[in-house]
């Protein structure tokens, strides 16, 4: 155990590589903690995090207003295309824009449309499992965790096959902006270039879907109608980019993080192999135990109280799901992996009006991946002696992961 930890340094090696330990210390110090370095409140208690997620009336998600908008104002004029389209992401907006766009996107992105994908996901997973055989070391991020979600979200959207992997590269450059990677000083310039390329690539595809709809998400988005309201081309493009990014990046990290956790709890791997019906609860337990999202940010539109602390209008608030999901006040034996855990009220997908739209797709991909991998391989070996993660406050993503699967 590290004795001297700077609880204000959210990008320290301890916070990045050992967040359970770091945020446990922080939660035990104060579940609602003023961090002068981040210049805002850090919320780590499960009850408090849930309270903030549900209070959208007083806590804004708008990243282009309030204290977050003020810090971006200088860069927005320099990187106009990047910020123009990021500002159309419905997840970063409040009512009424959020409600309007999400309602229209919901008409296209339905749970039923996701479940229809299951046979195709099963087929893809089967194809990706075969190269893992043979008992040789594989780059799991590149050979499995990267490929499955990028193909799934691209096919779901209706992105032309020739653009799928290029879109992933552009998405990665956007990730450095969205997740504020502390080791990439050039992230804004690369993000602007990536956004230019993505918009140029998607604009003719969206136009083609308006003229000749197909059975894909882009077609359903351009056809979505609520009264007289429809999504503009720029809104379709922006939120398609959001789905590519969110649908790929987070699921890739969920799959990789899960294999690390299963390596630490081999009894749960054997349990899943013996009882495949546990795949659904296993996916939710992995989302709780070491999910792909560490934290989400909000800011106060008016004064309020959270966990006994007085939050002033304009204060920034960081909701640390990684800590809330390990709060012993809400989860029995939270440091233990239990793939049959019920109930499992984890906060990884958020709550309230901003709950993650892509949750059913992430669960589906994780379930099918866990099923296929556990059936094919009784055990596996993670080769990294020490795991390292990308230095961001809001995401949990490994820098590398090498595994040998044993038949």
How many domains, in total, are found in the chain?
1
pLDDT at residue 94, as a whole number: 96
pLDDT at residue 249, as a whole number: 87
Query: pTM of the entire structure?
Result: 0.94
Share of the chain above pLDDT 90, in %: 81
Sign of CA dihedral 343, 348, 354, 355: negative
SS3 state at 115: helix
Inform me whether the pLDDT recorded for 348 exceeds 90.
yes
C-beta of residue 334 within 8 angstroms of C-beta of residue 325 = yes
What whole-number distance in Å separates Cα of residue 388 and Cα of residue 245? 22
Contacts of 55 (CB under 8 A, 6+ apart): 304, 352
- The domain of 105 spans 38-406
Is residue 244 in a domain?
Answer: yes
What CATH number has the domain bearing residue 215?
1.10.630.10
pLDDT at residue 1, as a whole number: 43
Inform me whether the pLDDT recorded for 46 exceeds 50.
yes
Contacts of 42 (CB under 8 A, 6+ apart): 10, 26, 32, 33, 34, 35, 318, 320
Is residue 276 in a domain?
Answer: yes
Is residue 339 in a domain?
Answer: yes
What whole-number distance in Å separates Cα of residue 270 and Cα of residue 106? 38
Is residue 299 in a domain?
Answer: yes
What's the pLDDT band for 181 if we cut at 50, 70, 90? low
Q: What is the pLDDT of residues 262-299, one digit of tens each?
A: 999 999 999 999 999 999 999 999 999 999 999 999 99
Contacts of 179 (CB under 8 A, 6+ apart): 390, 392, 394, 395, 397
Is residue 281 in a domain?
Answer: yes
pLDDT at residue 254, as a whole number: 98
Counts of helices then strands in the chain (DSSP H, E): 18, 10
Is residue 29 in a domain?
Answer: no
Is residue 185 in a domain?
Answer: yes
Q: What is the pLDDT of residues 48-92, one digit of tens each?
A: 999 999 999 999 999 989 998 877 766 767 888 898 999 999 999
Mean pLDDT of the chain: 93
Is residue 27 in a domain?
Answer: no
Question: Mean pLDDT over residues 357-379, rounded?
Answer: 97
* Residue bearing tokens 């990677």: 181
Q: What is the pLDDT of residues 87-139, one digit of tens each?
A: 999 999 999 999 999 999 999 988 889 999 999 999 999 999 999 999 999 99
Taking CA atoms, 242 is separated from 140, 213, 353, 356, in Å, by 25, 21, 17, 12
């Amino acid at each position: 155990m590290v004795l001297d930890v700077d609880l204000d340094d959210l990008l320290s090696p301890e916070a990045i590589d050992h967040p359970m330990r770091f945020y446990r210390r922080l939660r035990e110090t104060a579940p609602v903690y003023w961090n002068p370095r981040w210049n805002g409140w850090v919320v780590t208690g499960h009850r408090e995090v849930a309270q903030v997620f549900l209070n959208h009336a007083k806590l804004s998600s708008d990243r282009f207003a309030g204290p977050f908008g003020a810090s971006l104002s200088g860069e927005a004029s320099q990187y106009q295309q990047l910020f123009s389209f990021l500002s159309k992401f419905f997840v970063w907006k409040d009512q009424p824009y959020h409600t309007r766009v999400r309602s229209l996107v919901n008409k296209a992105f339905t749970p039923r449309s996701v479940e229809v994908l299951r046979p195709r996901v099963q087929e893809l997973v089967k194809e990706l499992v075969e190269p893992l055989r043979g008992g040789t070391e594989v780059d799991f991020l590149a050979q499995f965790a990267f490929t499955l979600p990028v193909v799934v979200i691209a096919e779901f959207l209706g992105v032309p096959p020739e653009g799928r992997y290029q879109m992933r590269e552009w998405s990665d450059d956007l990730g450095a902006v969205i997740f504020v990677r502390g080791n990439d000083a050039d992230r804004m310039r690369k993000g602007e270039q990536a956004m230019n390329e993505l918009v140029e690539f998607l604009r003719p595809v969206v136009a083609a879907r308006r003229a000749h709809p197909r059975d894909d998400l882009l077609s359903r988005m351009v056809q979505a109608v609520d009264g007289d309201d429809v999504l503009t081309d720029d809104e379709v493009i922006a939120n398609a980019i959001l789905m590519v990014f969110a649908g790929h990046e987070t699921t890739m990290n969920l799959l990789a993080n899960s294999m690390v956790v299963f390596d630490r709890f081999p009894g749960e791997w054997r349990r899943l192999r013996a009882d495949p019906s546990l795949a659904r609860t296993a996916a939710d337990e992995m989302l709780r135990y070491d999910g792909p999202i560490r934290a989400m940010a909000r800011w106060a539109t008016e004064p309020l109280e959270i966990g006994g602390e007085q939050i002033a209008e304009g204060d920034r608030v960081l909701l640390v799901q990684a800590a809330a999901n390990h709060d012993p006040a809400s989860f029995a034996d939270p440091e233990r992996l239990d793939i049959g855990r019920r109930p499992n009220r984890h906060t990884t997908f958020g709550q309230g009006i901003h709950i993650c739209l892509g949750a059913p797709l992430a669960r589906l991909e994780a379930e099918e991946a866990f099923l296929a991998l556990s059936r094919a391989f009784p055990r596996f070996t993670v080769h990294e002696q020490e795991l390292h993660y990308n230095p961001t406050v809001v995401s949990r993503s490994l820098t590398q992961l090498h595994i040998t699967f044993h038949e």
